[in-house]
Amino acid sequence: MNTMVQEAESHEFVPRVIPPPEGRYLHRTVRDDGICVLTFDRPGSTANIFDRATLEELQHELDFIESGQNITGLILISAKPTIFIAGLDLRQITEMTSLADIGELLAFGQAQISRLTQLKIPTVAAIHGAAVGGGYEIALACDYRLATPDKVTKIGLPETNLGLLPAWGGATRLPRLVGLPRALDFILAGKTTSAQGALRLGLVDQLVPAERLVRAAARAIQKGKSHRPSHWLANNPLTVAFLAPPMRRRLFQKTRGHYPAVLKAFEVMSGGVTRSVSASLALERKGILELARSESTHNLLRLFFMRERAKKRVLNDSMPRLEPKPINHTAVIGAGVMGAGIAQWLSSRGLTVVLRDVNTGQVAHGMAGIAKLYQDGIRHHVFTHRDARDGLDRIAPAPAEVPLRHMDLVIEAAVEKLELKKKIFQKLDELAGEETILATNTSALPVSELASATRRPERVLGLHFFNPVHRMQLVEVVAGQATSPEALLRAVRFVQRIGKLPVIVKDSPGFLVNRILMPYLIEAGILFEHGADLEQLDEAMLDFGMPMGPMRLLDEVGLDVALHVAQTLAAHFGDRLRVPVILSRMVEARVLGRKSGTGFYLHDRKMRPNPPLKAFVQSNSAHSLTRDDLQERMYFLMLNEAARCLEEKVVSTPEDIDFAMIMGTGFAPFRGGPLRYADSLGIEKIVGAMEILADCGAKQYAPCVLLKQMASDGSKFYPNP
């Protein structure tokens, strides 16, 4: 006990040296000054989470504090190096079959957390690491919130991203802490912010270095119970009544009604802020139970678990979990948009990077792009000035040939020309070391053919990053015909280490995401050629739940890039893919989309359709199609190609396809992905509709063998919901 007290008093206090007794989640230390330090430390885990057992231990500890033990204050802290508390154990919720059980757990959690607010002694949440969901909700119940300024410290209430709402007091207490407008902005967007951002928003009271966290918390306790401003101007009934109708309309326009958690969180917060705390907590519980019935919530939770799976996956579950040689030193060949984006991301993750291109001008242009990415990151509080400087220092510009023998990984990101890339790989094969992995960032060209240009094809694979690299989390790890399991495992571990989410795919034209996406984009172009209104095409898929309409997406990708991928796929799948004439004509005219200022849209402030494109309309056969018709025609082709990918074993599971399409294209997350959505519609019904279209002459709709077989035997992609 004396040793623990001395550590708590010193500048060298390190919470993680306090192990809880075996099997315990919380460890109590009472200092000589009567302050109780309650340390969260879940055994056998890198994270602290709330489950029933943890809440019961919290109940026990609060019983002790309330039992007259001369406790003068309470400090909540974590022993984990990167996590304060990561929130509720979502698996426990998803495994519950009864709404009554969910309601009981929510009520129990609310009751224990609310007890913190009722204690007569001052309470402090001393936050180091991620405090999200329930982890921040327990902090909100404390009188004071101190946080470390470290990168690992994140504050957030991301529940709406999971189809839920903060129901352990977050939707009740945050509006009372910072005012309803600011709380709505934070919770409805499911935001997570840095410690600096949290301080600016009023989510925490003070930033304190980790080594002084407990000492600063003890000083806060000496101030006594906190007294906060009431925010009466923002939180009164008249203000809420004035703000609610336009806010509700804006939310519906933004979500198109597809994300009920956002609207429900708004109802709970705007309704609860003018009621008592207990009445507001009751609204939280009621809101969660209503959302628990929603298929949207189920699909968003499934997406969460797929993300967690991708963070930890190996090649297959039966492989021994061997740790491969880590990748620390990298080179990127090609300093264009993608190459510069990859180099910036790697350097920001602590890796050294050689950025190589053919001349000084190209490299300088790439470095300027990287500097801008870092400056944008500083402006948005993603990086500090020191982070940006250190990241730039880790990049070595190389306008001339350099040795690559000490590199662990070389990523080629040159222009999409097969013969040029083969020559690059021949040269890389000579320059690289024996254990260097050679990867291509190509979006469609065959990895196996590039590997055949080297002496050791077993170390060649694809690492297909998506644009923009700093925003898109998915990376396709493409296994060529000769790629070794060892190289593949090293690549997967590398992708996980740099904070991206890998999906392992077989070398196939277009790999996975582009192969499924291109028939959809091509069909949108064909429908436009046959009279479908440009804005109606985009609005139809926005209503469907896509983040961007197909015509706008073509402009953003670049029509030259889209044409190249379409032609590559059409060369392999010409029996069902016909490149729209309009794409070739627009590229010939250098009408390339956003990059040229004009595409299907005029990229000015008003974002209007490009009038001259009407000359490319060949007929009016699609002019009268409804939005539902347009949605079906574009979605059916995505589904058909997704089923073919599963049929051809491009990936191993339906989850891989749905995960990749959501993370790589933004495919309506609330629908669960193209295959999950197909199950909900009914395979037999879909196949019948596709066959009608095919019989009318649209041969691209002929359902693949797998879909016809599933329709015949009544099977689903996901037999167990």
Catalytic residues: 464
Q: Are 520 and 638 in contact (CB under 8 A)?
A: yes
462 sits in which H/E element:
strand 460-465
Helix (H) / strand (E) containing 28: strand 26-30
The 3-state DSSP class for residue 328 equals coil
CA angle (413, 495, 90) in 5-degree steps: 140
Nearest-10 crossing angle of helices 260-272, 170-178: 60
For residue 49, give Cα distances in angstroms to 117, 158, 194, 471. 21, 15, 20, 27
Residue type at 478?
A: V
Residues 625, 489: Cα–Cα separation, whole Å: 48
> 85: closest CA among 160, 172, 6, 26?
26
Which residues fall within 8 angstroms of residue 644, CB to CB, at 6 or more apart? 704, 706
Q: Tell me 203's DSSP state.
A: S
Region of residue 702 (left: phi > 0; alpha: psi -120 to 50; beta: else): beta
Instruction: Tell me which residue of 31, 50, 32 sits closest to 42, measured CA to CA.
Output: 50
Tell me the Ramachandran region of residue 155: left when phi exceeds 0, alpha when psi lies from -120 to 50, beta otherwise.
Answer: beta
Structure tokens at 452: 């055949």
Q: Is the dihedral of CA 299, 663, 668, 706 positive or negative?
A: negative
Residue 155 phi, psi (nearest 5): -120, 130
Query: In this structure, is the dihedral angle defined by the CA atoms of residues 5, 6, 8 and 9, taken in order, positive or negative?
Result: positive
Rounded to the nearest 5°, which phi and psi values hold at 398? -140, 95
Rounded to a whole number, what is the largest CA-CA distance in the chain?
A: 86
| Edge-to-edge order in the sheet of strand 409-412 | 395-398, 352-356, 329-333, 409-412, 437-440, 460-465, 474-479, 501-506
213 forms beta bridges with none
As a whole number of Å, the end-to-end CA separation of the chain is 51
CA dihedral for 92, 98, 101, 106, sign (positive or negative):
positive
Measured CA to CA, the distance from residue 634 to residue 548 in angstroms comes to 14
Provide the token pair at 336: 């264009």
DSSP summary character for residue 445: S
Q: Are 620 and 530 in contact (CB under 8 A)?
A: yes
593, β-bridge pairs: 598
Q: Which token pair is 35?
A: 């302050």
Strands (E), 259-359: 329-333, 352-356
Distance between CA 118 and CA 66 in Å, rounded?
10
User: CB–CB of 490/635 below 8 Å?
Assistant: no
The amino acid occupying position 482 is: A
Is residue 336 within 8 A of residue 442, CB to CB? The reply is no
611 C-beta neighbours (distance < 10 Å), count: 8
Strands 501-506, 474-479: pairing kind: parallel
Task: Round the CA-based radius of gyration of the chain to a whole number and report it.
Answer: 28
Q: Which residues contact 590 (CB under 8 A, 6 or more apart)?
A: 596
